[in-house]
Each structure stands twice: as C-alpha cells, then as structure tokens.
Structure 1
C-alpha cells in the first residue's frame, strides 16, 4: 500500500465504485418491465411493473441509514475503509440479483430476496457518492478540487449510458422469451468484476492526507454523526437543500424524460435520445468543475437551481412535443445547469463539513435529499402527468423544489472553494447561522 499514490490510481479507485452504483441504477430501470414478469407475475402487467418499480424505490428509503452508517465509518475508521465496504455491498448485492431464482421457481421467496438485496444496495449506496467525493477532494491539489470532483458526476452519467446501452443491445440480440428467461441477468453479472477491481484498487491506497492529519493530531471524532447533528445542523440543512434540488433535476434528466417521451413514441427512441443528452451532460461536468475552481461554487449552485426553475416549462414542452430532435434539444438545455448542480453537489457537500464529521454529515444530508425527496421525483412527475393529462404538469414539481431552494441558497450558501479541507471547525459562524435561519424561516 503506497502512501503517495499517483493521481490516476486515486481517480480509478474512486470512480469504479461510483460507476458500479449508477450502472446498476440504469440496468434495473431499463429491465423493470422484465423483472416485473419474473418476480411479480400477475394477469395485469401494469401491476407487475408497479411492484418492480416499488422494489426499485426501496433502495432510496435505505439510503439515509446507509449514509449515516458508512459516513460514521468514514469519519471513525477512514475514508478508504468506508469506500471499500460500499463497493463490496453494491457489487455483491447486484451480482446476487443476477443469480436469483424466479417466482416460478421458488415462489414467494423470490421477491422477498430481491427486496432484501435492494435494501443492501441502498445501504451501500448511501455512503458511496459523498464518500468518493471526499476521497477525491482530500487528495486533490489546491485549486483543482472542483475539477477532480467533477469526475464523480461524469462517471455517474457514463454509467447510466452504459447500463441503458447494454440492455438495449441485449434486447436487439435476444427475443422476449430469452430476455425474460436469462438475458436480463447478464448486465447485473458485470457488477462482480467491477466490484472486485474496485475493492482491489481501494485497498491498495493509503488514507487521504486530510484523514492522516486528523489521526496525527488525535482529532478523529469518536461519535461523528452525533457531533455533526449537534454542532453542524445548519450545515446539514443547507446540504440537504443542495442535494434535494440536485437530485430532483438529475432524476428528471436520467429517468423521467425518457418516460415522458415513451408515452407518445417508441421506448427505444426515448432511451437513445436520453442517452445522447446524458453524454452532453458528461462533457459539461468537467467544464463546470473547472469553472467553479475559478469563479467559486456559490454562483454556479445558485444559478443552476434558478435556471432549472426557469427552464422547467419550456423543456417539458420540448420533451413532450413528439419530436425526437426537439426532445433532445430540451434535454441538452436542461443538462447545462444540471451538470453544474451535480458537480457542485460533489464538492460543496464535502467542503461544507469540517474534517472530523465530513463523511457523516455529507452522506446523511445527501442521502436524505436524493432519497425521499429526489428519489420519488419520477413517480410524482408521472402521477402529475397522468392525473392532469398535461405533459407540462411535472414542471410544477420541479419549480416547487428549484425556485425556493435557489432563493434560499442565494441568501444562505457560503462560498466554500477556498476553505481548507483540514479545517475542523463548522463552516457556519454565528452570523452565517443567523442568516440561514432568517432565510429558511426556521427558529
């Protein structure tokens, strides 16, 4: 194990677990209909699909608990240990899903085992995103933390494109019977080599320089989660707001837009258009990280949130127009502020929290924001569209999240770009805390 790993080694070890998490996310969503038939067979295919999507949502419920547990591990025992546990949990559970017997084989126990494995995935994913972000940021050279953290967001987008593409390729090569019998299992099996490679790479690295300094100073928190909640509640609130608007926007881009296009056109076309927009998003992420290192995090985060509110209605009109070209234009417009939000989420949540409670605070706030709030966004958007008959109705939910969060961040979000990551103090002083309380209306 090297105490001075190369930047490439740090980046590779960090990104591979994040890639595995989002690859699984994309594959499950793309084969949800097939999984409904395999694990929840009924005479009504809609009920089977809803059951499959319900199990998909279980992971989001368990994310906050996983964030609290793995975040605490990261602060008490090291970022490397937390990330190693996360990649084992994500890849192990995903691989086991590929090996599960169907309902026709073992009956009731098939969906039960699927639910349990989704719980493990949710627990593991709860600490992966922010843990990986903290690991990259704490190894990054001065003035380049945003650029390094942007790779987390870019790898997530690439993983979704890869997962969706793998399912589309299989569907083009196999007939429906083969796909339902064994074809759906193949993408999930890829998690095994990805997980083993991620574990190998992560265990070969030393702890980050920031965490090694905490140990040297005997400043490691014994109860980091409790300390984060007690002394950093304002950090938690603002990080939760940041994660909520980021997550809602990303799940619109990654999942709901394809659903909206599928209503009036072929599913394959919708997934291809969404994948093309995600590739544009991937290309924009490094630019957003580079820009934040020069102009700061705050203008990009605030501007991105307000831009989502402004673009919500015109983008939904373009996506629902029935034209693949116009839909792609709308998604690409949406990808511009969304790339900024996702990259800022990767770095701001790390910089907000002091070194002693960074993993716990960031993971908990992020998991709460992208779990119960953002994780339900595609479902809420679909329900609004179905209930009103208007393709623009889902824009209301997006505006309801993005506009107030953007205004609150404009008043309460501090600039964190120049903050030393070895700082053990909370970012909010008394004056900043008072501003936050005034902005949110809390007391």
Structure 2
C-alpha cells in the first residue's frame, strides 16, 4: 500500500512538473514573440513612422525606439518586481503578459506618419515604452517562478527553459516575418502585411494569460505567506547586501543581454545593411542561429548544474570576449556555411552565460526580496548595455566602415563583466531558496495587516 502511495505521489509530482514547465515555457515564448516582432520589422517601421532623407537614418531611428523600450524597463522591473514579492509570482506573470499583449496589439492600429504626422512616431514610442514596462517584470518573475519549483540538482536545466523559450519566441517572430515576406509582395508587406503579427499578439496573449492563471504560486512564496514573512517594502529591505548582489546581476546581464540581442535582433540587420544579403536570406540564417542557441541552452544548464554557476558563467563570458571578432569576420564573408559557423560559436558561449543568469537571479537573493533584487539589476543592465546594443552596433559599423566593428562592443563588455564576476561572484550551486538571508529591517506586509 505504501509503495502504491509513493508511486502515485511521484506520478503526481511528475505531472505537476510537466504542467509547470509547459505553462512557463508557453507564457515566456509568447511574451518574447510580442516584444521581438518589432525588431524584425525595424526597417519597414523606420520607413513608415520615422521618414528620413536616407534609409540609414530611418533605420537608426527605428532601432533607437527599440532601445527606448529598455529605458523604461527599470521602472517596470521596480514596480512589477515589487508586486511579485508582495502579491506573488503568479499575479505578476499574469499582469506582465496582459500588458505586453495589449501594447503589441495596439501597434497594429497606429496610422503612419503620412496619415497623422508626428503623432504616429509618438504613439509608436509610447507603446514600445509600455512593452518595455511589461518586459521589465517578465524575466525575473518567470525565472523566479520556475526555479523556485525546480529540483535543487536541476535548477540550471530548468533555467534553460527561460533562455530557450525567449529565443524561440524571437524565432517565432522571425518565422512570421519570413512568411509575410514570402507571401506578400514588398509593397503590400510594407503597406499592411507587417501589421498582421502585431494583431496575432491578441489571441496569443490571451492563451498565455489563461495558462498562467491556471498555475499555483510557488511553494517558496506560499511558505512566506504561511509564516507571515511577505515583505511590505521588498526594495527597501534589500539593504547594502542586496545592492552588492544587484551589481553582480548587472554584470552578468550586461554580457548575457547584449549577446542575446546581438543574436536575436542585430544579426538580421547586419546581414542586410552591412553584408548585403536579401531580407529573406538574412531572416533564414538568423532563424537557424536561434534554433542552434535553443538546442544549446539545456546543455548549458546541465554544465552549470555539474560544475557550478561561477565557472560556467565566467567561461561563457570569456569565450564571448575572445570569439566575438572571429565570429563577425565569419559572418562578414557572406558565405552561408561560414556565417553559420560564426553564429554557432557565438550561440554556444551566449547559452552558457544566459542560462546561468536565470539561476543567479534567483539563488543570489533571499525569497522576500528575490524578484525585486533580480529585476532591478537585470533591467538596469538591459537599459544601459543590452537595449542600446543594436543601435550601438549599427552605429559602429556605419561610422567606422569596418564590417566587424560591432564585435568590439560585445567583446569589451563580456571581458569586463567576466573579470568582475571572477573576482566577486560567490558560488550558489545548491543554495537553499527558502533561506531568509539578511535580517529584515522593517515589518512585513502580512504582519502589519494582522496588527491592523
């Protein structure tokens, strides 16, 4: 009887784990599809909403708006991260996908500059800001939700779901853009076809919201509630110890975020504007690179579970710093095979860094300030380093006339961040996620409510 009960319990746990992984993966994929689709239509959006005397000027304006969304991300991380620590991981994830889906859908309805003049780019900027606000709470909340459920020995592997589905969301956006390019003539794609994937965000986001609302909150958060230890002001309770951990997350995100946006957003622009490829061929190669990256993410997670977070993330960062220039030289040849080799090398080291980032966001902080601390460090780095990355890369290639000049930026960031993490990052492999960490410096939200 006991053996039957044990087998039943194991089966329930496995079913629950599959459901949690599937819902987390689907929600994160849909969120990143919404956020990334803008990047694949940056050239078209630049022409329609940011008219200029030169195509390069329009493209630079469109990429600048891509970066503007990252400026707003710290505010989103602050508000939604605080919300996740106070109200729970599940409500924060539901709110994030709702905001992202709504703002993405509305972009499809914005008239062009030729119709409403300056109001058109203003509307695009405001909606991109709302996307950025939503994305500011997504990554840290999603990583925390998944890792707080993960088996201790497989947190790296589970974290790979967040990294891989982010890439798959961008991949889906890329395939959608590719389908529109193949299905419609250029004039129709520019006139109305580009709006279709933004409209697709509405049903996809409703699906993501439904899946997230069906989940329970994490055992770690429910334990905080039961013990009346939910923080009233998690940001204030981070303290000096928390600020040091935020700096470590900033360093890791600087190279992981920049590398990801090079791979997911800038490569297609580089291939079309610098190397001289057609849009369809550039999208196909970018899609291939993202598929390879997604397949490498679970391997990176297993490496981190085997040898530790610190060794893995430092090895990945150092690798990015060393191979960035050779990778761009390979991509710049214009040869499909050599370009794919360059993307594969880049994706391999980026996977090591990115997957470990998801685990470190969680393991570095105590549960009552976890999402706030991770979201602040993550989004500050994305605003300062990652978000402007495609714009800086394009400016380097255009301003210097050197095709591989964008590699200097990612190489410098990766090497500086790696040295910093080598010096200061503690090993967190096997950390107890229920430990409260530093002493609290104020009443919790739950105890204050009870006292009232």
TM-score (norm: length of structure 2): 0.90
What does residue range 161-180 of structure 1 map to in structure 2 within 5 Å?
Answer: 161-180=171-190
Match of 2:315 among 303, 314, 319: 303
Counterpart in the other structure of 1:245: 255
Counterpart in the other structure of 1:432: none
Take 2:57 and 2:266, find their aligned partners in 1: how far apart are those partners? Answer: 19
Counterpart in the other structure of 1:260: 270
Q: Does the residue aligned with 2:108 lie in a helix, a strand or coil?
A: helix
Whether the 8 Å CA contact 1:171–1:179 is kept in 2: the answer is yes
Is 1:393 aligned to 2:405, yes or no?
yes
Query: Closer, same or farther in 2 for the Cα pair 1:337/1:380, shift >3 Å?
Result: same
For residues 311-368 of structure 1, what are the alpha-carbon distances to aligned partners after superposition, in whole Å with 9 as ceiling and x for unaligned? 1221121111221211110110111111111111111111111101001000111111
Shift of 1:371: 2.1
Whether the 8 Å CA contact 1:229–1:236 is kept in 2: the answer is no
Counterpart in the other structure of 1:337: 349
Take 1:116 and 1:5, find their aligned partners in 2: how far apart are those partners? Answer: 42
Take 2:139 and 2:49, find their aligned partners in 1: how far apart are those partners? Answer: 29
Counterpart in the other structure of 2:443: none
Q: Does the residue aligned with 1:325 lie in a helix, a strand or coil?
A: helix
Counterpart in the other structure of 2:232: 222
Is 1:189 aligned to 2:194, yes or no?
no
Shift of 1:69: 0.6
Is 1:84 aligned to 2:97, yes or no?
no
Is 1:94 aligned to 2:104, yes or no?
yes
Q: Does the residue aligned with 1:143 lie in a helix, a strand or coil?
A: helix
What does residue range 286-435 of structure 1 map to in structure 2 within 5 Å?
Answer: 286-426=298-438
Query: Closer, same or farther in 2 for the Cα pair 1:43/1:387, shift >3 Å?
Result: closer
Query: Closer, same or farther in 2 for the Cα pair 1:251/1:20, shift >3 Å?
Result: same
Query: Closer, same or farther in 2 for the Cα pair 1:3/1:97, shift >3 Å?
Result: farther
Whether the 8 Å CA contact 2:42–2:59 is kept in 1: the answer is yes
Query: Closer, same or farther in 2 for the Cα pair 1:135/1:69, shift >3 Å?
Result: same
Whether the 8 Å CA contact 1:32–1:52 is kept in 2: the answer is yes
Take 1:265 and 1:126, find their aligned partners in 2: how far apart are those partners? Answer: 33
- Kindly report the root-mean-square deviation, in angstroms, between the aligned alpha carbons of the 2 structures: 2.0
Whether the 8 Å CA contact 2:67–2:391 is kept in 1: the answer is no
Q: Does the residue aligned with 1:99 lie in a helix, a strand or coil?
A: coil
For residues 273-294 of structure 1, what are the alpha-carbon distances to aligned partners after superposition, in whole Å with 9 as ceiling and x for unaligned? 1211111110010111122222
Query: Closer, same or farther in 2 for the Cα pair 1:387/1:88, shift >3 Å?
Result: same
What does residue range 4-43 of structure 1 map to in structure 2 within 5 Å?
Answer: 6-43=16-53
Following TM superposition, the consecutive aligned residue runs of length 4 or more in structure 1 with deviations greater than 4 angstroms are 2-5
